[in-house]
Amino acid sequence: AQSVTQLDSQVPVFEEAPVELRCNYSSSVSVYLFWYVQYPNQGLQLLLKYLSGSTLVKGINGFEAEFNKSQTSFHLRKPSVHISDTAEYFCAVSVDSSYKLIFGSGTRLLVRP
Amino acid sequence: DAGVIQSPRHEVTEMGQEVTLRCKPISGHDYLFWYRQTMMRGLELLIYFNNNVPIDDSGMPEDRFSAKMPNASFSTLKIQPSEPRDSAVYFCASSSKQGALVAFFGQGTRLTVV
């Protein structure tokens, strides 16, 4: 069965520093990968997605992620974070063009001044 | 479009009572999902529909939970009878084939069962 592992439950970082949020998935078939962000008391919104093509995917708010098939990873990065990036970030996988998303446990990004 | 609309935003009910959560998906979307979010279990997919037909309900925890989608613009998730362990945030999301698998989420219903 497919699964998603987010290795860090919380990542504290200072404002303007770079950040990487890690995501690994397990699946033996083709996958589609997503990162969603959840601000307090709100629903999830899409940051970026990988369906096919270039393995480096750019999303909103300056975030990007790289699909690495050999390492089954899809880590999220931003070169310089802002206070407003403080939120919970979820990695998700959809298998074989299914519309069913499996989410990781989430990583709380805490940006400090 | 106003996005996915869920109601109510907050619900407090007593154990044993029936609870109904409501969702209006984005117009034109043919997939609808119900998720539950808790601290312990994270985001769990409960059930999803395609063209108003339930496709996968393997995530529905017990027979106390039921979901319906009588038409393309409305879905309900019902818990009867409710229990304190059902306390969670319940999200509805919708997507479409043309939307390349991207799910749009509502703001959720925070359910507290006392």
Per-residue pLDDT of chain B (114 residues; tens, 9 = 90+): 679 999 999 999 999 999 999 999 999 999 999 999 998 888 999 999 999 999 999 999 889 999 999 999 999 999 999 999 999 999 999 998 776 678 899 999 999 999
What pLDDT does B99 receive? 67
What pLDDT does B23 receive? 98
Pick from B105, B109, B110 the residue to mutate for testing the A interface (most A CBs within 10 Å).
B105
Banded model confidence at residue A29, pLDDT cuts 50, 70, 90:
confident
What pLDDT does A11 receive? 97
Q: Which of B56, B95, B106 sits opposite A43 (nearest CB)?
A: B106
Whether omega before B8 lies within 30 degrees of 0, making that bond cis, reads yes
Min Cα–Cα distance to chain A from B15, Å: 24
Q: Tell whether the torsion through CA atoms of B59, A48, B6 and B2 is positive or negative.
A: negative
Q: What percent of chain A has pLDDT over 90?
A: 72
A60 touches chain B (CB under 8 A): no
Between CA B26 and CA B5 the distance in angstroms is: 8
Q: Which of A44, A94, A100 sits opposite B105 (nearest CB)?
A: A44
pLDDT at position A107 over 70: yes
Between CA B103 and CA B114 the distance in angstroms is: 32
Q: Going by C-beta distance under 8 Å and a sequence separation of 6 or more, which residues neighbour residue A86?
A: A109, A110, A111
pLDDT at position A98 over 70: no
Query: Which tens digits make up the pLDDT trace of A42-53?
Result: 889 999 999 888
Instruction: Judge contact between A104 and B42, C-beta under 8 A.
Output: yes
∠ CA(B44), CA(A47), CA(A55), 5° rounding?
100
Query: Which tens digits make up the pLDDT trace of A40-87?
Result: 888 899 999 998 888 899 999 999 999 998 999 999 999 999 999 999
What pLDDT does B89 receive? 96
pLDDT at position A19 over 70: yes
Q: Sort A54 into a burial class: Cβ within 10 Å, 0-12 / 13-18 / 19+.
A: exposed
Contact between chains at B48 and A100 (C-beta distance less than 8 A) = yes
